[in-house]
Structure 1
Amino acid sequence: MKIFKTVLYVLFALMFINAGLNKFLNYMPMPELTPEQIKFFTAFTSITWLMPLVAAVEIIGGLLFLIPRTRALGAIVILPVMVGVIIHHAIIDQSGIIIALVLMAINILAIMDYRSKYEPMIRD
C-alpha cells in the first residue's frame, strides 16, 4: 500500500508541476473552448497577475508534494487550487469533473495521511 500511495502522490505532484509550467511556457495545445469557457478565461486572464500566481502555486505546491518530508505543506498549498478546479468543473466545464474529484480525493488522502503534522497549528 505504501508503494501505491507513493506512486499516486508522485503522479499527483507531477501533474501540478506540469500544469504550472504549461501556464508559463504554453507547450500543450489548448482544446476547443465553449463560449462560456472563453468568457471565463478572458475574465481570468484580464487580471494579469492571477495566472502567473496560480502557476507558481501549482509548481511550488507540486514540488513540495513530490518530497515526502514536505508533502504535508504541499497538500495544503495545492488545496485552494483544487477547490478552484472543482468549482470550475462543477459550474463551467462538467466534462472534467471526474478527474478533478479524483485529484481532490488524492489531495485529501495526503492531508489525512499527514494530519499529525497539522496538529500543532490547531492545538489550543
Structure 2
Amino acid sequence: MNSQFTKLMRILLGAILVIFGLNKFFNFIPAPELPENAADFINSLASTGYVLQVVGIVEILIGALLLLNKWVAFALIVLVPISVNILLFHLFLDIPGISGALLVTIFNGVLMYKLWPKYRPLFN
C-alpha cells in the first residue's frame, strides 16, 4: 500500500473522519436540511446523549490512525460498520447527501482491497 494513490486515499479518508468526528463535538460544519425521517433518526440518536459522541470519538481515532499510518488494517476494519451505516442512512433516508457516504465507503473498500493479504488469515 505504498503507491501515491493509496497514500492520498488514506490521508483523505483520515482527514474526512477527523473533521466529521470533531464536528460531532464542536458543530463547525452547519447541518444540512434533512428530510423528516432522516431528521427524526438523527434527533433520536442525539437524544440518547452518547451515541453520536461515541461515533465521533471512534471516527477521530480511526482518522488519526490513518493519518499517522499506524494500524491501518485494523482502523479500516473497524471503519466498515460505520461506513456501511453512513451509506445505508443516506441510501434510505437522505439520498441527496449520498455522495460523501459513497466516497467514504469506496475509499474504505479500496484501501481494504489493497491490504487484503493482511485480512486473509481472518477467512481461513
> Using the alignment, how far apart are the partners of 2:31 and 2:104 within structure 1?
21
Paired residues in the alignment total: 123
Q: Which amino acid aligns with 1:120?
A: P
The 8 Å contact of residues 72 and 111 in structure 1, kept in 2 or not, is answered as yes
The answer to whether the aligner puts 1:108 opposite 2:101 as a matched pair is no
Matching residue of 1:9: 10
Instruction: Flag the structure with more relative contact order, 1 or 2, with Cα contacts below 8 A and sequence separation at least 6.
Output: 2
Q: Which amino acid aligns with 2:105?
A: M
Residue segments in structure 1 that go unaligned for 5+ positions in a row: none
| Structure-to-structure mapping, 1:32-51, within 5 angstroms | 32-51=33-52
Partner-residue secondary structure (3-state), 1:72: helix
Residue segments in structure 2 that go unaligned for 5+ positions in a row: none
Partner-residue secondary structure (3-state), 2:32: coil
Partner-residue secondary structure (3-state), 1:20: helix
Q: Which amino acid aligns with 1:112?
A: Y
> Using the alignment, how far apart are the partners of 1:8 and 1:95 within structure 2?
23
The 8 Å contact of residues 61 and 74 in structure 1, kept in 2 or not, is answered as yes
TM-score (norm: length of structure 1): 0.88
Partner-residue secondary structure (3-state), 1:8: helix
| Structure-to-structure mapping, 1:1-124, within 5 angstroms | 2-123=3-124
> Using the alignment, how far apart are the partners of 2:75 and 2:98 within structure 1?
22
> Using the alignment, how far apart are the partners of 2:39 and 2:104 within structure 1?
24
Q: Which amino acid aligns with 2:21?
A: G
Counting aligned pairs with the same residue, the percent is 29
RMSD value, Cα: 1.7
The 8 Å contact of residues 35 and 93 in structure 2, kept in 1 or not, is answered as no
Q: Which amino acid aligns with 1:57?
A: V
1:88-108 deviations in whole A, cap 9, x for unaligned?
011110012233223211101
The 8 Å contact of residues 23 and 55 in structure 1, kept in 2 or not, is answered as yes
1:13-68 deviations in whole A, cap 9, x for unaligned?
10001111110111111222332222111211122211111101111111122233
> Using the alignment, how far apart are the partners of 1:55 and 1:107 within structure 2?
17
